Amino acid sequence: MTKTISLLGATGSVGQSTLELIRKHPGKFEVRALTAFSRVAELAALALEFNANLAVIGDETKLTELKERLQGSGIEVAAGEQGLLEAAAYPSDMVLAAIVGAAGLRPTLTAVRRGATIALANKECLVCAGDLMMKELEAHNSTLLPVDSEHNAIFQVFDADHAQTVSRLILTASGGPFLNRELTELKNITPALAVAHPNWDMGAKISVDSATMMNKGLEVIEAYHLFPVDKEQIDVLVHPQSVIHSMVEYIDGSTLAQLGSPDMVVPIASCLAWPDRISTPAKKLNLAEIGQLTFQEPDYDKFRCLALAKEALYIGGAATTVLNAANEVAVDAFLKENIPFLAVPELVSRTLEKSDMKAPHSLTNVFEIDQEARRLASSFLDVYAK
């Protein structure tokens, strides 16, 4: 049967990889709704190519242009947050949630509430509102499939029917571009150096998060919500080759791992085809060619962001929401060269120290906590300015 898909964030890297897979499997998938934030020409072209029912542009000032580009096509158009909610609510079997940032929260929740299968590529849904999101998933019998390579790897080897036999989740981390540099060498790191990831081709923000290892910290928080384990059962192991994407250790001493080339098309395909599998253009793994797989413990002194993320998970309440907001402010300031690289964890730590950690009771409250944390973090920027 043809699976119907709504793609929230069609012009980003995850969206583009998803559409490339759909192209390679004609007749297997049908695109119902597509969204983009500002790339209106690209969105219109994709809507026409895939004969989508609905196209939504996040930037409301570009609605007129979208209408003009799709005039006479029969494709519905919308814009802004309300348009994103319409796309999430549009009837489809699966919603691939790839909108970056807190803007993806409400649309994803809307899709959950209609019982859709969610392929989740948005970290904020679980980092900022994990408890709320998981309750909604259960209440509306919605299925959540993780697109992140690490969580998808765990999903593939986690025995959900016997979760009590799992002793530990091991998230692997490449270590980013600065794994082999001393802490003293990180003082003069530029944005160009920070975004140059050795294994993965990603956007600027997530590349900086990989360089600070905040990305891995956020994934620890996500894993806690995605899988029925305690906080103490989630570990991080540095694996520079990015071949083993994560592991699940069982009480009998067995450790199961998912391996593959470092290509996001693999976990995306796993979600798109679930519970089946489809072929992908990803390079097949050749272990003889790779030769060696190496591992080491993370350096929590050098990568303070990883330590802060784990600390926020243990604190609970609003801590992970505050952590995420402060990090986004800090990374944005670093990319604009307003603060140095090593100021990122300093600013996050200071924001956590000064914030109220009372747990959010609603999605509206999550946004209020997020905005207050951003305001507080922004007020500290002058302290760390270059």
237: Cβ–Cβ under 8 A, 6 or more apart, which residues? Answer: 170, 171, 172, 173, 247, 295, 296, 297, 298
What mean pLDDT comes out for the span 367-381?
Answer: 96
Average pLDDT over all residues of the chain: 95
What confidence category does residue 200 fall into, taking pLDDT thresholds of 50, 70 and 90?
low
Query: Residue 149 is encoded by which pair of tokens?
Result: 């390579």
Q: Does the structure show a pLDDT above 80 at 281?
A: yes
Three state DSSP letters for 120-185: ECCCHHHHCCHHHHHHHHHHCCCCEEECCHHHHHHHHHCCHHHHHHEEEEEEEECCHHHCCCCHHH
Q: Does the structure show a pLDDT above 80 at 287?
A: yes
What confidence category does residue 100 fall into, taking pLDDT thresholds of 50, 70 and 90?
confident
Mean pLDDT lowest for which of 151-155, 160-164, 175-179, 292-296? 175-179
User: Could you tell me if 147 and 267 are in contact, meaning their C-beta atoms sit under 8 angstroms apart?
Assistant: yes
Phi, psi angles (nearest 5°) of residue 118: -110, 120
What confidence category does residue 206 fall into, taking pLDDT thresholds of 50, 70 and 90?
confident
What's the CA gap between 189 and 185, in Å, rounded? 8
DSSP calls for 294-325? --B---TTT-HHHHHHHHHHHH-TTHHHHHHH
What mean pLDDT comes out for the span 239-265?
Answer: 96
Q: Does the structure show a pLDDT above 70 at 336?
A: yes
Give this prediction's pTM: 0.93
What confidence category does residue 199 fall into, taking pLDDT thresholds of 50, 70 and 90?
low
From the number of C-beta atoms within 10 Å of its C-beta (0-12, 13-18, 19+), residue 250 rates as: middle
What mean pLDDT comes out for the span 106-114?
Answer: 96
What confidence category does residue 334 fall into, taking pLDDT thresholds of 50, 70 and 90?
very high
What's the CA gap between 294 and 273, in Å, rounded? 31
Q: Does the structure show a pLDDT above 80 at 106?
A: yes
**DSSP β-bridge partners for residue 246:** 171, 258
255 conformational bin, left if phi > 0, alpha if psi -120 to 50, beta if neither: beta
Higher pLDDT, 26 or 386: 26
- 29-72 residue pLDDT tens: 999 999 999 999 999 999 999 999 999 999 999 999 999 999 99
Instruction: Give, in order, the Cα–Cα distances in Å from 182 to each of 43, 104, 139, 299.
Output: 44, 36, 48, 10
pLDDT above 90: percentage of residues in the chain: 92
User: Could you tell me if 284 and 36 are in contact, meaning their C-beta atoms sit under 8 angstroms apart?
Assistant: no
pLDDT above 70: percentage of residues in the chain: 99
* Side-chain-side CA neighbours of residue 106 (13 Å): 13
User: Could you tell me if 146 and 209 are in contact, meaning their C-beta atoms sit under 8 angstroms apart?
Assistant: no
